[in-house]
């Protein structure tokens, strides 16, 4: 791999990381991975009753992983002051 192609790969990865950071800052909530963002989609084991999703609590939204990391860093920083 040449120096020029390494620089292109590094710039691309940096751009993707920046885009994900901005996405987490602007839209911290994503759709729930269990119910696909449709609240009340989960059926009971017997198949007779609707139940709210256990993972999102029936909201259909879930905090993104990047935002969880950001919140953790912020809490650690504030605790150290």
pLDDT tens figures, 9-26: 999 999 999 999 999 999
Q: How far is CA 67 from CA 33, 37, 45, in A?
A: 16, 18, 33
pLDDT for the residue 20: 94
* Residue 8 pLDDT greater than 90, yes or no: yes
Strands 61-63 and 29-31: antiparallel
Q: Which tens digits make up the pLDDT trace of 33-68? A: 888 777 656 666 666 667 778 888 888 889 999 999
Convert 28-53 to b/e letters by CB count within 10 Å (16 or more is b): eebebeebebebebbeeeeeeeeeeb
């Amino acid at each position: 791999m040449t120096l020029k192609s390494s620089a292109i790969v590094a710039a691309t990865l940096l751009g993707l990381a920046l885009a994900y950071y901005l996405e987490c800052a602007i839209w911290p909530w994503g759709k729930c991975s269990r119910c696909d963002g449709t609240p009340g989609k989960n059926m009971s084991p017997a198949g007779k009753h609707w139940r709210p999703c256990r993972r999102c609590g029936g909201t259909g939204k879930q905090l993104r992983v990047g935002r969880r990391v950001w919140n953790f860093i912020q809490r650690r920083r504030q605790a150290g002051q």
